[in-house]
Amino acid sequence: MNRGFTLIEMVVATAIFVLVMTAASGLFVSGLRAQRQSLAHQQVLSQTSYLMEYMSRAVRMARKDMAGTCTGTAKLNYAFSGQCLKFINYKNQCQQFCLEDGRLKNENGVYLTSGDLQINSFNVSLSGQTQDDDLQPKATIFLDIVGQEMTNIKIQSTVSQRNLDVRK
């Protein structure tokens, strides 16, 4: 007697195989999607961390613009207008960070963020930047950044000027 598989047994075995392979491939695709999302989020965090550290270090070392040639007003530490933060750096040069086409750039026109990031919002809140108060100058920088895979981060950092600069 010939003992082989019937047509029904083959159809059932094939159906079970297809179901198992569909579930396995679904898990594989979900894993790839999660990894891509994780890498995109890591890229946004890495570039944002670099950008905030770079800007914070520069703003911390700012000096008072006694003549007003950089900030537009004499005796100001910082000026923020038209999506640009301007100040005198530790080398007594005018330094600025400006939002242009969704990217931040410095006074030399060098972009501080890659083309993979889109900065939706750049805002700076200033306090103590004039000589008319007893407040230490500080700048609070706000950024809203979107990266690949629609990863989004909103971050703020407050930086106090390194040199004591209060009214005497």
> Considering the entire predicted model, what is its pTM?
0.77
pLDDT averaged over every residue in the chain = 88
Tell which residue, 106, 162, 161, has the closest CA to residue 139.
161
For the segment 77-94, the average pLDDT, to the nearest whole number, is 91
The confidence score (pLDDT) of residue 64 equals: 86
The β-bridge partners of 81 are: 84
- Cα separations in angstroms, 3 against 6, 12, 14, 15: 9, 18, 19, 22
The confidence score (pLDDT) of residue 131 equals: 67
- Domain boundaries along the sequence of the chain: 32-160
The confidence score (pLDDT) of residue 1 equals: 62
For the segment 27-48, the average pLDDT, to the nearest whole number, is 92
Note the pLDDT tens digit of each residue in 102-153: 999 999 999 998 888 999 999 999 887 776 666 778 899 999 999 988 889 9
